[in-house]
């Protein structure tokens, strides 16, 4: 059994549990600022998470809920312009929340990154999120910078998750093939993308994704766990392991 050469992490929901109290709140702040009578409740936002990407989520909401848009929005070009402006405002609010330290890392993330880095296992990101949002999260929640040598973000590829594109881009930038790597995801949409790219995938669920379909995942756990805070295994074999570490990822990779 050999170690994976790289670990490819999803960002939102995986590195940090940031959808409910991060992205969702920032969307609502942007709606207020733009004087829209829209409000995404915690429950409703969960149903919108099947749409990857903030701009795509706004568009889907307008089209499927008949949400009121400003009077000046008539043509498709104006709609795109409106969504881009609204998403820009949301990004600013989101980055503000990150800077306030309101979004902590999930259990086990820093431990696993530290172990991987010390062992020479390369680290990459494959996210649906816009590049500035992914960078802001990494810079705010991880100490000492430069953890990830590759960041592949939603706006860099033609199709967002569940398409495999962003994982394929991460592999291309790493110069590796899927069989060399393991992906860490939190959502059904993200897991489908990683598996479609040919990656062995470990899923760490959160409040929004627990109970989702993770067909093809090698392992599904409640979080990465810590020595003093073991994970709960929802699917897959972990032997004696009590948290996700390189020894367990070696098994996943070879499985």
Binding to ligand XBP (CB under 6 A): which residues in 44-73?
52-54
Q: Closest Cα partner for 119 from 7, 242, 231?
A: 7
**Residue 216, H or E segment:** none
Separation between Cα atoms, residue 239 and residue 77, nearest integer Å: 55
Separation between Cα atoms, residue 34 and residue 86, nearest integer Å: 7
Residues with Cβ < 8 Å from 33, sequence gap 6 or more?
89, 93
**Least separation in angstroms between CB 231 and ligand XBP:** 20
Which residue, 54 or 108, has its beta carbon nearer to ligand XBP?
54
How many residues interact with ligand XBP (rule CB under 6 A)?
18
According to the binding rule CB under 5 A, does residue 54 interact with Mg ion? no
Which residue, 46 or 230, has its beta carbon nearer to ligand XBP?
46
Contact region with Mg ion (CB under 5 A), list: 52-60, 166-174, 183-191, 236-244 = 183-191
* Of 83, 124, 129, 171, the one binding ligand XBP by CB under 6 A: 129
According to the binding rule CB under 5 A, does residue 165 interact with Mg ion? no
What mask, x for binding Mg ion by CB under 5 A, covers residues 78 to 107?
A: ------------------------------
**Least separation in angstroms between CB 9 and ligand XBP:** 9
Which residue, 67 or 247, has its beta carbon nearer to ligand XBP?
67
The residue behind tokens 């549990």 is 17
Residues with Cβ < 8 Å from 101, sequence gap 6 or more?
140
φ, ψ of residue 166 in degrees (nearest 5): -70, -30
Q: How many CB atoms lie within 10 A of CB 131?
A: 15
* Of 133, 201, 206, 209, the one binding ligand XBP by CB under 6 A: 133
Contact region with ligand XBP (CB under 6 A), list: 10-18, 77-85, 201-209, 222-230 = 10-18
Q: Do the Cβ atoms of 50 and 190 come closer than 8 Å?
A: no
Q: Closest Cα partner for 52 from 179, 208, 178, 201?
A: 208
Which residue, 12 or 165, has its beta carbon nearer to ligand XBP?
12
Residues with active-site annotation: 10, 12
Residues with Cβ < 8 Å from 233, sequence gap 6 or more?
219, 220, 221
According to the binding rule CB under 6 A, does residue 127 interact with ligand XBP? yes
Q: How many CB atoms lie within 10 A of CB 79?
A: 16
Binding site for ligand XBP (CB under 6 A): 10-13, 19, 23, 52-54, 127-130, 133, 154, 161, 187, 190
Binding site for Mg ion (CB under 5 A): 10, 12-13, 186-187, 190
């Amino acid at each position: 059994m050999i170690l994976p050469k790289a670990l490819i992490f999803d960002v939102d929901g995986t590195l940090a549990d940031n959808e409910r109290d991060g992205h969702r709140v920032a969307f609502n702040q942007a709606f207020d600022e733009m004087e829209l009578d829209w409000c995404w409740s915690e429950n409703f936002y969960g149903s919108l998470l099947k749409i990857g990407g903030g701009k795509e989520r706004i568009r889907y909401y307008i089209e499927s809920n008949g949400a009121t848009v400003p009077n000046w929005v008539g043509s498709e070009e104006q709609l795109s312009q409106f969504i881009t402006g609204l998403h820009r405002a949301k990004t600013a609010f989101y980055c503000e929340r990150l800077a306030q330290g309101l979004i902590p890392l999930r259990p086990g993330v820093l431990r696993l990154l530290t172990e991987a880095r010390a062992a020479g296992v390369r680290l990459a990101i494959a996210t649906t999120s816009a590049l500035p949002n992914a960078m802001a999260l990494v810079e705010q929640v991880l100490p000492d910078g430069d953890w990830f040598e590759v960041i592949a973000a939603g706006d860099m590829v033609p199709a967002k998750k569940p398409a495999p594109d962003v994982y394929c881009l991460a592999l291309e930038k790493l110069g590796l093939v899927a069989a060399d790597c393991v992906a860490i995801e939190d959502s059904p949409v993200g897991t489908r993308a990683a598996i479609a790219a040919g990656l062995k995938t470990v899923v760490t669920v959160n409040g929004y994704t627990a109970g989702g379909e993770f067909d093809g995942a090698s392992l599904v756990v409640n979080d990465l766990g810590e020595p003093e805070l073991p994970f709960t295994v929802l699917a897959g074999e972990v032997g004696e392991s009590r948290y996700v570490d390189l020894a367990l990822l070696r098994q996943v990779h070879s499985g």
